[in-house]
């Protein structure tokens, strides 16, 4: 042991000795010393090759070995010495990681190598061993020296290497390191001059048909080529020379011959070259011309069964998707089928932009994609901006202008302008008479006053139906059908009775429609006149027992005064009967590998096998006379009812079956009329093979709202219908119509007791002529004497709103939960009413809801981006809601809490966004002196309370950062301009939860309603933290609790992960193209 150690120490010291000897020789170079230097370097090389420790010794800083060796290399003229030294360096840099290479580079080694390379090429033929050494060193240096490419081009070394490659195509030993150097050059964005120097052509000489020999060499050549083809200029050059078909042929050759899949990396590299070539339009054209779609489709199909070939399938699929010819949507125009005249159209608004286009050019596919082509790879499949998710590079979006973060000190409007809003705050001036306390005051809801529309109302339902006079007596238990109420009655009149194969020309009619004459109170019913099944009974389940706020007759009454642009006369069956929350857990489906790929392949098949495609229009709003053919095979569609929004349906294939995949995360909802009649009136999560991806339809920049042209998206899912001749409704989320709101409000107002103060006003009329209800809910004063009245008037205001985004129906369900709680008779509810005056606008965008918009109002704008400067004509609900708040501020009643309810399609759970200067400043890391910022941390209390109380609520998803892109939203404007410290957006998931009691489950209406109720309870608790009276009088420990709640903020970046953590969230509904091998950039996922 000792001996060994001594031996190694001895050798270590020997190498040091040799180094100092070399150093001395360097200092006094004499020709006669050549031999000595040669010998010394030879000895060092020998030691290094045999003794691991000596390498460390030489490379260590203290020995100065690297300098000495480099200095010898610089000075020597002797070939053998040079070779010795290069061999030493190769040995040294092979191990020891990048550290030694770093030292080598920092001591000027790169320049020396390049000089040596150029110098020795001057009298050819160059020494092969020398070339080998230099190139293998350059490969190593390339990992560390980012400027290698530039240096090599400047001193001419690049051409030396290129020439070596050219003249040594058969000499693989030398070719390999030279190619490796070229690969290094090509990777450090040096491809332009490489392309000009004919490198492309040389690479194509190297790559070729399948061969088991020199696969390493081939791989390097392909990698180099792929890098070069990233440059548009090189790609064009390659396409011009016809290399694309060549690559396809080579790929097919390898596909055929590599039967044991030993060379997947090479096959993948060939695809990599094709992928880069098809980034340019010319390349995509060449790909299509060369029958690339079919070639890649067929090879991929053959690869599918072998999982290890997934990278090939994925890259192929990516290429095919990119090359799939872009189409415009199969619509005559992207303008809506329906038109609603606006009083004035702002010249710069989205409406003017779209409608000022000459006919036909509104959705032209953008052709200019040469430069953006590379984005195709990284662009993720995302939908649209969510309310509150940050944009791509999120830190860019954080507000850094401290002046925009400070509250606005002055009132923004003169009080005279606001005085008119006094009307909506009558509770503050009302003198309660004694009889006010005896019985609820009569309230005439506006909806029942102006039911001036006497149009028939049709409810699409099952095959045949009769009216309420045939209704069965209320059943006690809806969910267990009694034996006598058999679906047989239905069957006896259903289409299924008809002989198979016979077609009924009146099939649409035979679907059955309940026609109610609105003129007669309660609705007398005319069944479809020519219907054969008059004996049928329309089973109307008694939803009243389970749905106290639902009443079909009242619903119809409400519908009559709802004004839609298409003037709907039909009523959705689920809206009429009502939805009873399913008493069943609906787990979030696991995503199954490869679903998206399969779907994309099916899309590609449409191009490759067009004969399989029917492309039959089965529903078309643009063409009302669209013939409904019935061959017993087509589904029939209809969406002409409130909140409906189907424009066109095209049957793509005759039969569509797909059995090998199923499941994804968020399911859509389906309501089966047959099931409802059979006692299950539920919206149920349904569908498998759910997939959402960017398709081959392209949006022009006009359609994309001024952005660059983008793709449309496909949402696809598979549903198996359980009943024959059923009518099924589909929804993205649990529907909640405007008429439903009006019905609920009417029912709620009837719940008033002598203790409850409830008032419903019409805030304003919308563009579509609908009223926007404003509710005031609080407790009646204890009595009409002075003290109770002054307590009543001093209650803080809580201002709530919902449904500014029509597609976020879940926000209405949360609001329903809040309203029901506020009207309930529990002691806590009474206590809550005694604590606050609630001002609630349950639906900020009635028109959008009624007309089936997803996000906009009738002015075509997102109303939650109008709060900074709402226009009274175009955005009346926002304008007047803001005025209410301005009035409150002006009268010294700035609300304690403002909260706008929203829905989130991708994130799970329920969470809040709030506003904090400090957290915003912290996030930006801007060097603002934050010590002068004094901020009350009270904004954290409510979310914290909610996270303790509401099972669906997640504190870790909350954020209190103010983003630039959100400066015109309700949350930010109410915070800054009105001065509400606790100003929030509350986002509820459309999907499900990944924490708490509902972890792993999809969210349903009862969970959403529960959330709304929990919000009320949290407000009750918040009172203890905000009422100075209570704090002084008792419960001093509450002070500690609030401190405790607030203190959690002391570590800035832990308790508030904020939006900036959420970028890592897996989108709940959008499946990223799961081309795992491609490693897409995730940073775009929240576009």
* Catalytic positions: 987
- Least Å distance, CB 769 to Zn ion, is 24
Cα–chain-centroid distance for residue 597? 19
Give yes or no for residue 744 binding Zn ion (CB under 5 A): no
- Least Å distance, CB 985 to Zn ion, is 8
In the complex with Zn ion, the residue whose CB is nearer, 299 or 864, is 864
In the complex with Zn ion, the residue whose CB is nearer, 284 or 902, is 902
| CB contact at 8 A, 109 and 89 | yes
In the complex with Zn ion, the residue whose CB is nearer, 512 or 807, is 807
Looking at 893-1004, list the stretches that DSSP marks H as alpha helix, in order from N- to C-terminal side. 917-924, 941-949, 970-973
In the complex with Zn ion, the residue whose CB is nearer, 206 or 858, is 858
Tokens 């999560």 locate to 685
Give me the 746-785 binding string for Zn ion, x by CB under 5 A, dash otherwise: ----------------------------------------
Interface of this chain with Zn ion, residues 139 to 168, rule: CB under 5 A: none
In the complex with Zn ion, the residue whose CB is nearer, 808 or 1072, is 808
CA dihedral 700, 703, 706, 712 (to 10 degrees): -70
Please tell me the distance from the alpha carbon of residue 415 to that of residue 411, in angstroms, as a whole number.
9
- Least Å distance, CB 383 to Zn ion, is 13
Least Cα distance to 880 among 769, 775, 973, 765 occurs for 765
- Least Å distance, CB 849 to Zn ion, is 13
Give yes or no for residue 861 binding Zn ion (CB under 5 A): no
- Binding part of the chain for Zn ion, among 143-151, 160-168, 538-546, 805-813 by CB under 5 A, reads 805-813
Q: Which of 144, 889, 902, 982 binds Zn ion (CB under 5 A)?
A: 902
Length of the chain: 1087
Interface of this chain with Zn ion, residues 614 to 643, rule: CB under 5 A: none
Please tell me the distance from the alpha carbon of residue 842 to that of residue 799, in angstroms, as a whole number.
11
> Under DSSP, is residue 218 helix (H, G, I), strand (E, B) or coil?
helix
- Least Å distance, CB 664 to Zn ion, is 23
- Binding part of the chain for Zn ion, among 1-9, 385-393, 402-410, 713-721 by CB under 5 A, reads 385-393
Please tell me the distance from the alpha carbon of residue 827 to that of residue 835, in angstroms, as a whole number.
12
> Under DSSP, is residue 575 helix (H, G, I), strand (E, B) or coil?
helix
- Least Å distance, CB 714 to Zn ion, is 23
Please tell me the distance from the alpha carbon of residue 839 to that of residue 218, in angstroms, as a whole number.
73
Give yes or no for residue 387 binding Zn ion (CB under 5 A): yes
- Least Å distance, CB 203 to Zn ion, is 52
E-strand stretches of 575-706: 613-620, 648-653, 668-672, 684-686, 688-699
Tokens 């190593």 locate to 140
Burial zone of 449 (CB within 10 Å; 0-12 exposed, 13-18 middle, 19+ buried): exposed
Please tell me the distance from the alpha carbon of residue 651 to that of residue 647, in angstroms, as a whole number.
14
In the complex with Zn ion, the residue whose CB is nearer, 557 or 808, is 808
Q: Please list, in sequence order, all residues whose beta carbon lies within 8 angstroms of the beta carbon of residue 904, skipping any fewer than 6 positions away.
A: 386, 387, 388, 389, 808, 987, 988, 989, 990
Give yes or no for residue 907 binding Zn ion (CB under 5 A): no
In the complex with Zn ion, the residue whose CB is nearer, 696 or 904, is 904
Please tell me the distance from the alpha carbon of residue 94 to that of residue 137, in angstroms, as a whole number.
9
| CB contact at 8 A, 993 and 907 | no
Give me the 462-501 binding string for Zn ion, x by CB under 5 A, dash otherwise: ----------------------------------------
Give yes or no for residue 862 binding Zn ion (CB under 5 A): no
- Least Å distance, CB 703 to Zn ion, is 22
Distances (CA, A) of 1 to 5, 7, 11, 255, 1011: 6, 10, 15, 57, 74
Query: What burial letters (b/e) apply to 266-276, b meaning 16+ CB within 10 Å?
Result: bbbbbbbbbbb
- Binding part of the chain for Zn ion, among 45-53, 389-397, 589-597, 797-805 by CB under 5 A, reads 797-805
- Binding part of the chain for Zn ion, among 155-163, 175-183, 788-796, 897-905 by CB under 5 A, reads 897-905
In the complex with Zn ion, the residue whose CB is nearer, 199 or 389, is 389
Please enumerate, as own/partner, the contacts of 855-861 that have beta carbons within 8 Å and a separation of 24 or more. Answer: 855/384, 855/805, 855/806, 855/807, 856/806, 857/766, 857/767, 858/340, 858/342, 858/565, 858/766, 858/767, 858/768, 859/342, 859/349, 859/351, 859/767, 860/349, 860/350, 860/351, 860/354, 861/349, 861/350
- Binding part of the chain for Zn ion, among 6-14, 536-544, 605-613, 800-808 by CB under 5 A, reads 800-808
Neighbours of 421 (CB within 10 A): 18
In the complex with Zn ion, the residue whose CB is nearer, 808 or 834, is 808
Give yes or no for residue 805 binding Zn ion (CB under 5 A): yes
Please tell me the distance from the alpha carbon of residue 901 to that of residue 987, in angstroms, as a whole number.
6
In the complex with Zn ion, the residue whose CB is nearer, 121 or 812, is 812
- Least Å distance, CB 901 to Zn ion, is 9
In the complex with Zn ion, the residue whose CB is nearer, 742 or 902, is 902
Helical (H) or strand (E) element with 421 = none
- Least Å distance, CB 869 to Zn ion, is 20
Give yes or no for residue 733 binding Zn ion (CB under 5 A): no
- Binding part of the chain for Zn ion, among 383-391, 443-451, 613-621, 891-899 by CB under 5 A, reads 383-391
Number of residues that bind Zn ion (CB under 5 A): 4
Interface of this chain with Zn ion, residues 807 to 846, rule: CB under 5 A: 808
- Binding part of the chain for Zn ion, among 130-138, 613-621, 804-812, 911-919 by CB under 5 A, reads 804-812
Least Cα distance to 904 among 702, 696, 666, 722 occurs for 666
Please tell me the distance from the alpha carbon of residue 893 to that of residue 425, in angstroms, as a whole number.
11
In the complex with Zn ion, the residue whose CB is nearer, 310 or 808, is 808
- Least Å distance, CB 641 to Zn ion, is 23
Please tell me the distance from the alpha carbon of residue 249 to that of residue 219, in angstroms, as a whole number.
17
Give me the 337-376 binding string for Zn ion, x by CB under 5 A, dash otherwise: ----------------------------------------
Strand order in the sheet with 728-731: 684-686, 668-672, 728-731
- Least Å distance, CB 139 to Zn ion, is 54
Direct distance between the N- and C-terminal alpha carbons of the chain, in angstroms, rounded to an integer: 65
- Least Å distance, CB 740 to Zn ion, is 19
Give yes or no for residue 882 binding Zn ion (CB under 5 A): no
In the complex with Zn ion, the residue whose CB is nearer, 889 or 902, is 902
Helical (H) or strand (E) element with 713 = strand 710-718
Cα–chain-centroid distance for residue 992? 15
Interface of this chain with Zn ion, residues 1031 to 1060, rule: CB under 5 A: none
Instruction: Using CB under 5 A, list all residues that contact Zn ion.
Output: 387, 805, 808, 902
């Amino acid at each position: 042991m000792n001996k060994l150690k001594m031996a190694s120490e001895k050798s270590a010291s020997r190498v040091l000795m040799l180094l100092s000897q070399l150093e001395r020789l360097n200092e006094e170079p004499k020709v006669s010393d050549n031999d000595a230097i040669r010998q010394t370097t030879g000895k060092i090389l020998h030691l290094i090759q045999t003794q691991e420790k000596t390498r460390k010794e030489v490379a260590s800083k203290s020995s100065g070995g690297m300098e000495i060796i480099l200095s010898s290399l610089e000075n020597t003229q002797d070939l053998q010495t040079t070779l010795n030294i290069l061999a030493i360096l190769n040995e040294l840099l092979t191990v020891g990681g990048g550290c030694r290479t770093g030292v080598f580079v920092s001591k000027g080694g790169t320049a020396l190598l390049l000089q040596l390379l150029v110098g020795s090429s001057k009298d050819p033929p160059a020494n092969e061993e020398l070339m080998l050494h230099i190139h293998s060193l350059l490969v190593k240096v390339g990992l560390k020296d980012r400027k290698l490419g530039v240096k090599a081009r400047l001193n001419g070394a690049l051409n030396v290497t290129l020439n070596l490659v050219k003249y040594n195509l058969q000499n693989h030993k030398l070719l390999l390191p030279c190619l490796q150097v070229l690969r290094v050059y090509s990777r450090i964005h040096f491809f332009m001059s490489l392309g000009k120097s004919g490198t492309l052509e040389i690479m194509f000489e190297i790559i070729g048909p399948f061969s088991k020999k020199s696969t390493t060499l081939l791989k390097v050549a392909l990698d180099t080529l792929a890098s070069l083809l990233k440059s548009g200029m090189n790609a064009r050059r390659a396409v011009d020379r016809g290399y694309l078909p060549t690559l396809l042929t080579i790929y097919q050759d390898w596909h055929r011959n590599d039967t044991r899949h030993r060379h997947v990396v090479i096959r993948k590299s060939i695809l990599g070259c094709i992928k880069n070539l098809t980034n340019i339009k010319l390349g995509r054209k060449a790909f299509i011309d060369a029958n690339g779609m079919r070639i890649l489709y067929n090879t991929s199909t053959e690869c599918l069964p072998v999982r290890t070939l997934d990278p090939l399938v994925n890259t192929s699929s990516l290429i095919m998707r990119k090359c799939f010819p872009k189409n415009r949507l199969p619509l005559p125009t992207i303008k809506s089928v329906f038109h609603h005249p606006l009083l004035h159209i702002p010249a710069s608004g989205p409406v003017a932009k779209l409608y000022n286009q000459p006919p036909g050019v509104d959705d032209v596919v953008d052709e200019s994609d040469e430069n953006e082509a590379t984005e195709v790879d990284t662009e993720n499949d995302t939908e649209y901006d969510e309310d509150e998710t940050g944009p791509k590079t999120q830190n860019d979006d954080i507000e850094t202008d401290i002046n925009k973060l400070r509250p606005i000190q002055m009132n923004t409007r003169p009080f005279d302008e606001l005085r008119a809003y006094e009307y909506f705050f009558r509770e503050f001036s009302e003198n309660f008479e004694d009889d006010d306390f005896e019985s609820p005051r009569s309230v005439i809801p506006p909806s029942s006053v102006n039911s001036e529309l006497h149009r028939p109302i049709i409810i699409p339902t099952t095959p045949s139906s009769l009216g309420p006079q045939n209704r069965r007596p209320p059943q006690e238990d809806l969910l267990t059908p009694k034996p006598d109420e058999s679906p047989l009655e239905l069957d006896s009149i259903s289409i299924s009775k008809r002989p198979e194969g016979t077609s009924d020309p009146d099939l649409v009619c035979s679907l059955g429609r309940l026609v109610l004459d609105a003129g007669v109170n309660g609705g007398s019913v005319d069944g479809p006149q020519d219907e054969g099944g008059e004996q049928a009974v329309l089973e109307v389940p008694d939803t009243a027992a389970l749905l106290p706020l639902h009443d079909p007759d009242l619903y119809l009454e409400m519908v009559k005064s709802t004004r839609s642009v298409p003037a709907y006369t039909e009523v959705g069956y689920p809206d009429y009967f009502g939805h009873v929350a399913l008493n069943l857990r609906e787990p979030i489906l696991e995503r199954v590998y490869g679903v998206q790929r399969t779907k994309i392949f099916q899309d590609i098949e449409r191009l490759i096998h067009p004969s399989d495609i029917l492309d039959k229009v089965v529903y078309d709003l643009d063409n009302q006379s669209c013939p409904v053919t019935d061959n017993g095979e087509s589904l029939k569609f209809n969406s002409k009812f409130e909140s409906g929004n189907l424009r066109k349906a095209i049957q793509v294939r005759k039969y569509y079956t797909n059995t090998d995949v199923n499941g994804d995360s968020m399911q859509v909802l389906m309501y089966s009329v047959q099931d409802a009649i059979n006692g299950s009136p539920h919206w149920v999560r349904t569908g498998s093979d759910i997939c959402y991806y960017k398709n081959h339809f392209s949006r022009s920049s006009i359609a994309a709202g001024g952005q660059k042209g983008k793709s449309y998206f496909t949402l696809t899912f598979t549903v198996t219908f359980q009943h024959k001749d059923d009518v099924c409704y589909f929804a993205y989320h649990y529907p909640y119509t405007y008429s439903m709101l009006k019905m609920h409000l009417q029912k709620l107002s009837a719940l008033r007791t002598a203790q409850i103060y409830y008032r419903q006003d019409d805030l304003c009329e919308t563009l579509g002529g609908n009223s926007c209800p404003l509710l005031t809910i609080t407790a009646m004063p204890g009595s009409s004497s002075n003290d109770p009245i002054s307590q009543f008037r001093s209650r803080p205001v809580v201002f709530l709103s919902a449904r500014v985004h029509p597609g976020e129906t879940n926000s209405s369900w949360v609001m329903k939960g809040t309203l029901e709680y506020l009207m309930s008779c529990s002691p806590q509810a009474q206590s809550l009413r005694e604590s606050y005056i609630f001002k609630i606008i349950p639906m900020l965008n009635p028109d959008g809801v009624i007309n089936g918009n997803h996000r906009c109002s009738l002015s075509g704008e997102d109303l939650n981006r109008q709060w900074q400067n709402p226009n009274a004509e175009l955005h009346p609900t926002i304008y007047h809601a803001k005025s209410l708040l301005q009035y409150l501020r002006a009268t010294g009643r700035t609300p304690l809490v403002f909260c706008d309810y929203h829905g989130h399609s991708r994130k799970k759970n329920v969470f809040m966004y709030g506003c904090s200067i400090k957290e915003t400043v912290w996030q930006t890391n801007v060097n603002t002196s934050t010590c002068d910022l004094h901020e009350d941390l009270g904004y954290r209390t409510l979310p914290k309370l909610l996270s303790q109380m509401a099972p669906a609520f997640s504190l870790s998803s909350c954020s209190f950062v103010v983003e630039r892109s959100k400066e015109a939203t309700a949350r930010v404007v109410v915070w800054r301009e009105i001065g509400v410290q606790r100003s929030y957006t509350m986002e509820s998931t459309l999907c499900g939860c990944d924490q708490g009691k509902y972890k792993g489950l999809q969210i349903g209406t009862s969970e959403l309603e529960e959330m709304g109720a929990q919000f009320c309870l949290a407000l009750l608790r918040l009172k203890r933290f905000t009422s100075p009276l209570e704090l002084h009088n008792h419960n001093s420990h509450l002070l500690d609790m609030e401190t405790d709640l607030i203190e959690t903020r002391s570590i800035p970046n832990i308790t508030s992960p904020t939006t900036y953590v959420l970028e890592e969230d897996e989108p709940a509904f959008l499946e990223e193209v799961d081309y795992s091998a491609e490693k897409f950039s995730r940073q775009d996922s929240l576009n």
